[in-house]
């Protein structure tokens, strides 16, 4: 809708297209890669590494987003966007020619680094580019683009997978990467007036990276190795605490992560995403291996969580003029928690797929309501001069949820399957349509794993609701203090 507050008036059109196009490309890569997981597993093997195609992307994106925050504040959005697009484009080509699952995982790490830089610079640009009343709709527009990709992406992925193979999933986006890069470099803002410049905290970034990688490995192992990785993560966290207290400009400021409102904010979203993201990532595996869905139907499975997310984000953007964003976060967490339990029941009862798809849509709607409202809290509580750092810290918390949820979900799924199947590589055969004799055994194991994952996910989402309630209580207390004479 064109008008005074439209994102596509002449004043905002080019920068809006730049931001939304890069969101679209990131969305397509995520959706298409997930939709292609069965074909990748059938081609490259090493099924136990399959979750890492998604997880390693998110890990690298998380570390890169942390690095992007201080650079955005000191050098401006445009410079970080330039680097991110270049890395993203090169990694796209590398992923397309990967000869093995191990090499593909490595290239996805590079892919994630570029994506993290682009995504964080795009998020930080929103409150800098648009008027305050346009920020909520701008975030919702990003979710809408993601949702449009959910409709178009699986269709494109299905066509590409049918006629060209999974490698072209990466190559088809290269022309749009070039267009997005040109528009972003000519429209995004440079450094703010009075921006502070300090030597970059490479030591702090290394510690944060060590923490996050150990954290994800601990969650992924779900065995005795988790104790060792968990100890490394705890040690890295304690080391970073000491480092941040002594550093003049730490890569992540402690107050942006451990002091309210930011503490309750990121914990709420991290727990919610940890619970809900597994339903999004692993639903194609369930449809293909447990319900013997076609290649096209498998590719479309990611549609439902994403469409729900889009609808939820847009509803949240509109309601923020009337309701406090932290209240919307509570509502979104409750919706997702209940919907995951319902989905688990549908899976256990082997109800028709369309019912499962409906319940997955509600899982996504809760995620959309909460995540959009959380970004609005960031805007309402942060000064522009530190918007890069705070956005990066919040994105770090979000990615803890994304990566942790993928690792935990994959760990639960494969642990349950390993307890029911003697050879886990049978899953590869079923996904590739080879070992029909083992299909019933694999289907039962996959269904049990998905059901367990959804129940655990509901618990995580409920914890997220508790932290959203804590944020609501803190903001009400602050309002009371400010209103006192």
pTM across the whole model: 0.77
User: pLDDT tens digits for 452-470?
Assistant: 999 999 999 999 999 999 9
Which pLDDT value is given to residue 51? Answer: 75
User: What tokens were used for 381?
Assistant: 């509580």
Q: What would you measure as the largest C-alpha separation in the chain, in angstroms?
A: 77
**Domain boundaries, given as residue ranges, for the chain:** 13-189+251-483, 201-250
Calpha distance 413→408 (Å, rounded): 8
Which pLDDT value is given to residue 410? Answer: 82
The length of the chain is 485
Q: Which CATH class is domain 13-189+251-483?
A: mainly alpha
147-174: average pLDDT: 77
**Is residue 419's pLDDT more than 60?**
yes
328-341: average pLDDT: 97
Higher pLDDT, 237 or 306: 237
Which pLDDT value is given to residue 432? Answer: 54
Using N-to-C axis directions, what is the helix angle for 439-483 and 353-380, rounded to 10°? 30
Which pLDDT value is given to residue 313? Answer: 86
User: pLDDT tens digits for 340-396?
Assistant: 999 999 999 999 999 999 999 999 999 999 998 998 888 888 877 778 788 888 888
Calpha distance 237→387 (Å, rounded): 23
Which of 187-191, 285-289, 353-357, 364-368 has the weakest average pLDDT?
187-191
Residue 190 three-state SS: coil
CB 374 within 8 A of CB 325: yes
What percentage of the chain has pLDDT greater than the value 70?
89
**Is residue 3's pLDDT more than 50?**
no
**Is residue 14's pLDDT more than 90?**
no
CA atoms within 13 A on the CB side of 140: 21
pLDDT band at residue 429 using 50, 70 and 90 as cut-offs: low
User: What tokens were used for 393?
Assistant: 């810290």
| Nearest residue to 102 via CA among 44, 144, 35 | 44
**Is residue 167's pLDDT more than 80?**
yes
């Amino acid at each position: 809708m064109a008008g005074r507050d439209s994102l596509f008036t002449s004043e905002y059109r080019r920068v809006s297209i730049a931001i939304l196009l890069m969101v679209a490309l990131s969305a397509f890569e995520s959706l298409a890669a997930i939709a292609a997981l069965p074909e990748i597993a059938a081609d490259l093997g090493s099924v136990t590494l399959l979750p890492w195609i998604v997880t390693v992307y998110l890990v690298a994106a998380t570390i890169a987003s942390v690095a992007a925050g201080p650079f955005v504040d000191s050098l401006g959005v445009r410079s970080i966007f330039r680097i991110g697009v270049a890395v993203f484009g090169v990694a796209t080509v590398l992923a397309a020619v990967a000869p093995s699952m191990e090499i593909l995982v490595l290239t996805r790490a590079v892919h994630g680094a570029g994506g993290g830089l682009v995504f964080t610079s795009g998020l930080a640009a929103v409150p800098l580019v648009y008027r305050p009343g346009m920020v909520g709709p701008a975030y919702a527009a990003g979710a809408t683009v993601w949702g449009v990709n959910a409709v178009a992406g699986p269709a494109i992925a299905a066509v590409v997978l049918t006629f060209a193979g999974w490698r072209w999933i990466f190559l088809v986006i290269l022309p749009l990467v070039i267009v997005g890069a040109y528009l972003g470099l000519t429209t995004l803002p440079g450094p703010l007036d009075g921006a502070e410049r300090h030597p970059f905290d490479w030591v702090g970034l290394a510690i944060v990276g060590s923490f996050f990688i150990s954290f994800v490995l601990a969650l992924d192992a779900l065995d005795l190795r988790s104790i060792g990785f968990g100890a490394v993560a705890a040690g890295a966290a304690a080391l970073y605490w000491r480092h941040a207290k002594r550093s003049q400009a730490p890569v992540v400021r402690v107050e942006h992560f451990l002091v309210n409102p930011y503490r309750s904010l990121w914990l709420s979203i991290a727990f919610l995403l940890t619970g809900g993201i597994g339903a999004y990532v692993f639903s194609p595996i369930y449809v293909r291996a447990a319900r013997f869905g076609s290649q096209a139907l498998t590719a479309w499975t990611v549609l439902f969580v994403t469409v729900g997310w889009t609808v939820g984000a847009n509803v949240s953007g509109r309601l923020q003029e009337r309701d406090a964003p932290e209240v919307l976060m509570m509502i979104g967490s409750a919706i997702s928690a209940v919907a995951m339990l319902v989905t688990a029941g549908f899976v256990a009862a082997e109800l028709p797929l369309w019912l499962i798809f409906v319940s997955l849509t509600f899982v996504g709607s809760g995620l959309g309501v909460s995540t959009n409202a959380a970004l609005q809290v960031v805007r309402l509580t942060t000064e522009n001069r530190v918007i890069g750092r705070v956005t990066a810290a919040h994105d770090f918390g979000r990615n803890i949820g994304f990566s942790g949820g993928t690792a935990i979900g994959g760990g639960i799924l494969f642990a349950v399957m390993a307890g029911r199947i003697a050879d886990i590589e049978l899953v590869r055969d079923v996904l590739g349509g080879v070992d029909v004799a083992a299909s019933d055994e694999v289907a039962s194991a996959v269904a049990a794993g998905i059901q367990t994952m959804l129940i655990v996910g509901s618990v995580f989402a409920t914890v997220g609701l508790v932290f959203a309630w804590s944020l609501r209580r803190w903001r009400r207390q602050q309002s009371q203090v400010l209103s006192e004479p």
